[in-house]
Amino acid sequence: MKTDTIKTIAKKHDPKRPLAKNCLMSFIFGGSLCALGQMISLFYLYFFDFSEETVGDPTVATLIILTMFLTGWGVYDKIAQVAGAGTMVPVTGFGNAVISSAIEHRNEGFVLGVGSNMFKLAGSVIVSGVFSSFVIAIIKTLLA
C-alpha cells in the first residue's frame, strides 16, 4: 500500500486537539495566575518597603515558591493538563520546568543528578533569552 494512502487514513483518525477549549482554559488559568501575581505585588507594595520598580522580584519569588510546593505535591502537572499554556507561559511554568527536573534526578546525586539536569528543560529558554538580548544589544549599539 502506498505511503500516501496510509498517511490519509492516519490523518483521518488523528483526534483533533480541542483548540477552543484549550484557548479558553489557558485564558482563564493564565489570567487568574496573573491576577494572583498582581495581588501579591500589591500586598508587597502596601505592607513592605517596595517600590513599583522593585516589587517584581519578591512577587516572582513568591509565585515560584508556590509552584515548588505544587510541583512537589504532584499537583502542578495535573493542573497543567487542563490549563495548557495558562500554566506554561507565566513564570510558574519556568519554575515548574526547573523544579520537576531537579526532583526527577535527585536520586542520581546532587552534583551529577540535580546539578547537571536541573536546567535540561529551562536551559534552552535561558540560552535563547541571553542570545536574543545580545543580538538586540548589538542592534541598539549600531543604531545609537
Partner 1 sequence: MKEALQVRVGQVSYQFHTPIIINEYHTIAGPLEKNGALTAYIDTFIDDLYDGEKTYENCYKKLICDGISPLLKKHPDVQLLFTGDLLNQSTPTHLALTNRALTPITFDHACANFGLSLLYGALSIESQQQAAVFAGTMSHFAAVEKQFRFPNEYGQQKPPSSQTTVTGGGFCLLSSNGTGPHITGGTLGAVIDEGFSDPYNMGEAMAPACFHTLLAHFKDFNTTPKDYDYIITGDLGSVGQNILYDLLREENYRVNRNQLIDAGCEIYNKNQPIFSGGSGAGCLSLFLLSKGLKVYFKKPTRALVVATGALHSPLSLLQTPHIPTIAHLIVLESK
Residue 89 as a binder of partner 1 (CB under 8 A): the answer is no
Residue 94 as a binder of partner 1 (CB under 8 A): the answer is no
Residues ≥6 apart with Cβ < 8 Å to 90: 30, 33, 34, 37, 63
| CB of residue 103 to partner 1, shortest distance in Å | 6
Number of residues binding to partner 1, judged by CB under 8 A: 39
Please state, in angstroms and rounded to a whole number, the distance separating the CA atoms of residues 40 and 113. 33
Residues ≥6 apart with Cβ < 8 Å to 67: 76, 92, 95, 96, 99
Residue 112 as a binder of partner 1 (CB under 8 A): the answer is no
Select from 23, 24, 25, 58 the least CA-distant residue to 41: 58
Residue 101 as a binder of partner 1 (CB under 8 A): the answer is yes
Residue 21 as a binder of partner 1 (CB under 8 A): the answer is no
- Binding residues vs partner 1 (CB under 8 A): 1, 3, 5-7, 9-10, 12-18, 22, 71-72, 74, 76-77, 79-81, 83-85, 87-88, 93, 96-97, 99-101, 103-105, 107, 121
